[in-house]
Amino acid sequence: MHEISLCESVLQVLEQQAITQHFKKVKIVWLEIGALSSVEPEAMRFCFDAVMENSLADNAKLEIIYIAGQAWCVSCNKNVVIEQRYDECPDCGGLQLQINNGEQMRIKELEVE
């Protein structure tokens, strides 16, 4: 979807962190992207290089940590893995699911110098 804007947000965070954490160059960026986060990892990779060009993260490597979608099934009383927001419970077919993981899009850590 808006992967360019997300990459620009990532760059802003890197620029702020460069000041507070005293680094000058970013070599690797680890992002946690949840399956339910509405971020397309491939589109993110596509935009990342372009957005980081001529910045402190020029030529930085992007590592995406994919987080599976997870929800609590009220009927089964346990966590189940889901791939999309409207999935049924893979075990009982119920729709009473409360999503509890896989919505995140976070910058997890950086390798810097």
Q: How far is the CB of 79 from other proteins (least distance, A)?
A: 19
Angle between helices 3-20 and 41-52 (to 10 degrees): 50
Closest CA to 32 of 65, 68, 62, 69: 65
Nearer to other proteins, 78 or 106 (CB): 106
CB of 78 to other proteins, least distance (A): 19
Q: Which residues bind other proteins (CB under 8 A)?
A: 1-2, 4-6, 8-10, 12-13, 15-19, 21, 23-25, 27, 31, 38, 56, 84-86, 95, 104-113
Residue 1, classed as helix, strand or coil, is coil
Shortest distance, position 77 Cβ to other proteins, whole Å: 18
Is residue 4 within a helix (H) or strand (E), and if so which, with residue range? Answer: helix 3-20
